Chain A
Amino acid sequence: MNNPYTMHKLDNGLQIVIEKMPDVRSAAAGFLVRTGARDEVAPQAGVSHFLEHMMFKGTAKRGWRDITIALDDLGSQYNAFTSEDRTVYYGWVRKADLEKQIEILADMLRSTLPGEEFDMEKNVVLEEIAMAKDSLEHIAFDFVQEKVFAGHPLAWPVLGYEKTVQDLSRDTMWDYFKKRYTPDNIVLVVSGQVDPAAIIDLAEKYCGSWKPGNEETRRTPPEIKGGIDSCCIDRFNQQILILTLPAVCSTDRLVESASAVATILGGDNSRFFWNIVQAGVSTRAGAYLMDYSDYGAMLLYGACQPENAEKLLDAIRRESKRICEDGVQEEEVDRVKNRRRTSLALESETPYHRLTHLMDDIEYRGGPRTVEQMLADVDAVSVQTVREYLERYPLDAAGHLASVGPRAWPTES
């Protein structure tokens, strides 16, 4: 298959990645801004996420009401999200509406951060933080980051803390915005039934005047800490256990093997499902590969009745040990590949799903991959590569154990 991508860079540094999809009726466009919670300083924790909210609040051309009306006038399915290392704004529209979609998103990214909206939106963000505090899962994963990445910017939550958000000023946000939302730190990604040359013209038209910046992104990989930490919150009924172990980063050649390990251990029809959930130990148990461009972690987790916590931990440790000692079976690897083939075929149908894959590839894999390339990467996984991965990153190591719920268990001593 020919490479379906067109890649281009504007003079101001803005990158453009376009994927043509000839058989669809819709198109998707998104701006990937390479900034997130790990680019913040501690007293400003949450500024990236709050800023994402403010991008909808007004530009020189549009007030907040004009922005949302313009987006809804297209019937766009749009949204934005912030993570540890990026902020994404996207819209999925009928193909005839693509230019308008790009124009609105580009305008939003030149926000004036209207002062009169700042305090009102702060209330909204504080409500979002309050909502997260009612989710045991959210609390548990934030707790893991806080402990495992202690001393590193990855330790604080993407939403920030009530106090840092409360204390944040519009001027501080403005400084952060000017430094981080420069065209050389932004990628425009477009997928669908599109003409790449026309998209490049549109990018020039709507983003060509953006002034380049000189801020260098300085990110250092975290050290993953070991130990045991528990967080006792007695208003919840379940206990969540999360065992965190070092893993490959997203550019490592063994990343697909690590992903296969996560699926074999904790996906559908997995060892955890049959030997932990279907053994009645916990309602949920899984494995999640957190693979970023400069670090990786494997999270093995489960949720259970507090009195079953020991059993759950034993079961997770037992399965981790078994996979390290005995490796995986050929059939297990084949199952992962088969399932991945179907899911890739399905995800390749819509511009929206391709957009999200492209953004992941650009950010974490060093560049976009076709569906065929993604399949080839999956096909390269074997019993041997999984063994190699497990030798490099043994899952039977002590790792870091976090326990969150009504039981103050376990303690390190």
Chain B
Amino acid sequence: MNSTVHDSLPCGIEYAALPLPKRHVVSFCLRVFAGAVDDPEEKLGLAKLVGETIDKGTERHTGRELSDAYDAIGASIDIGVGRETTTISCTVLPDHFERAVELTAEMLRTPTFPQEMFSVNVDLAQQELIALQDDPQSLADKIITRQSYGSVLGRYPLGEEATLARIKQDDLSEFWHNYYCGGRTIFSVAGAVEVSCATDTIEKHFAGFGQAEKQGRSPHPFDFNASATHQTKDLEQQQISLCWPGAEVTHSDFPAQRVMLGILSGGMSGRLFTEVREKQGLVYWVGAWNDTPRGGSLIFLGASTTPQRCDKTYATLLREVDRLADDVTQMELDRAITGILAARETRGDATRSQCMELINDLFFFGRPIPAEEKDEKIKAVGIGDIRSFFAKYPRDRISVVTLGPRALGQSDES
């Protein structure tokens, strides 16, 4: 029975709370609608720098004191800055829930962005950009994201060398002032805490957190750009990444997309693993997934292989997508559906997982979606839906990136 409570507080924060009284922890998560899409074009990386520096000093505490205060209650806090939001997540023992919320509110409401911490974080961001060159898979992701989504949704949250150099300390305060407020914040909590206690605690510590009216809820539309790029790099393996537009998370076609991805790449019996790895030994890693900003999605296929096998791998990836609509079987469909349902049930034993599911529901749907409702939509997907899906979302226009020693069409084996 779903006992999730969903509402908005006077401070503007929209929340969803799921009491799980038998659990021994409480997890909470906030998403502030402040991400790379909000960076000024000439100062890309600003939202990320704000996220990296926001915990480095408040009006009451230095960064180190703040970290020590979290540690004093055994709370570990994660801050991540993405394309559309900044996410803060935390798990604590139930007795320390209020203190953890209090510290998080202090951090988000009264950051000082000290000059020395700002300077170090700019320097570290520049170093991270260089380090990215040593991580081929992430580098290929960055290139294809920019190429396919374009100049706003395609931004790399870390920014670029030149844009980071333009950012000043005052820019952080200004960005924080513009984007960090109750009306731009969603909050989920799950675990051993009563709903009234949770909401009282949130309101108590976030009352007066900037503007309360809802903001930042509109998606950023994008025009998919279909093109192909090869970047030459001295690597042992060639990275292959390709994508095409799919359904957005809230669309009625999305369950079919999830099941389709399960058939392609849901387990070792998935089409890609079977056809690319097991039958031909072309790769160690191959996969399919979707990337889902609000307002759209892209379906990705990726693999890495030694250069002489690159063309064959690429051709097999495309072949498997192209034939799926024609020869998908009921058994494959059932298996993919089982995989999705079972994963929800097993992971549901983890409080943090429940909390993350709630925050994502708020982010995409603006309300918590009961597990039963989600499961019913997945169970309802049939072979006809998979076929119609490919008719509506064909891979006739694709974006391709290869990274490595050779461009496509230059392999020895084909």
Contacts and interface: CB of A to CB of B under 8 A. Distances in A.
Interface of A: 23-26, 56, 64-65, 68-69, 71-78, 92-94, 97, 119-125, 127-128, 130-131, 133-136, 235-238, 268-269, 274, 277-280, 282-283, 303-305, 331, 334-335, 337-343, 345-346, 348-352
B124 A277 contact: yes
Closest 8 CB pairs of A and B: A75-B342, A123-B281, A338-B74, A335-B71, A72-B267, A68-B268, A68-B269, A342-B74
A352 B92 contact: no
B349 A25 contact: yes
Given A131-B285, A134-B237, A237-B130, A72 B93 contact: no
User: Size range of the interface on B?
Assistant: 35 or more
B95 to A, nearest CB: 11
A127 B346 contact: no
Contacts of B306: 127, 130
A124 B284 contact: yes
Contacts of A346: 25, 91, 350-352
Interface in B265-293: 266-270, 273-274, 277-285
A121 B24 contact: no
A349 B131 contact: no
12 contacts: A64-B278, A77-B342, A94-B346, A120-B281, A124-B277, A130-B237, A130-B284, A236-B134, A237-B130, A338-B73, A345-B93, A349-B23
Contacts of B133: 237
Interface string B210-236: 000000000000000000000000111
A305 B274 contact: no
Given A26-B345, A75-B338, A127-B237, 18 more contacts: A25-B345, A71-B268, A76-B267, A120-B279, A122-B281, A127-B284, A130-B284, A131-B236, A131-B284, A237-B130, A269-B68, A278-B120, A280-B119, A305-B130, A335-B68, A349-B349, A349-B350, A350-B346
Contact of A130 (B127, B236, B352): B236
Interface of B: 22-25, 56, 63-64, 67-68, 70-76, 91-93, 117, 119-120, 123-124, 127-128, 130-131, 133-136, 234-237, 266-270, 273-274, 277-285, 304-306, 331, 335, 338-343, 345-352
A335 B72 CA distance: 6
A120 B342 CA distance: 31
Contacts of A124: 277, 281, 283-284
A338 B127 contact: no
A72 B236 contact: no
A76 B342 contact: yes
A337 B73 CA distance: 10
Contact of B25 (A76, A119, A349): A349
A305 B284 CA distance: 30
A350 B351 CA distance: 9
B374 to A, nearest CB: 15
A358 B110 CA distance: 43
A69 B117 contact: no
Nearest to B346: A26
A134 B136 contact: yes
Contact of B134 (A24, A78, A238): A238
Contacts of B351: 346, 349
Given A237-B133, A237-B134, A94 B345 contact: yes
B259 to A, nearest CB: 13
A73 B23 CA distance: 30
A400 B119 CA distance: 33
Instruction: Indicate the member of B269, B277, B304 with the most A CB atoms within 10 Å.
Output: B269
A341 B349 contact: no
B93 A238 contact: no
A94 B24 contact: no
Contacts of A94: 342, 345-346
A349 B24 contact: yes
Contact of B282 (A78, A123, A303): A123
A338 B342 contact: no
B24 A24 contact: no
B127 to A, nearest CB: 5
Contacts of A65: 269, 274, 278
Contact of B71 (A130, A282, A338): A338
B96 to A, nearest CB: 8
A352 to B, nearest CB: 7
A133 B234 CA distance: 11
Contacts of B63: 278
A283 B335 contact: no
A17 B312 CA distance: 46
B339 A75 contact: yes
B120 A279 contact: yes
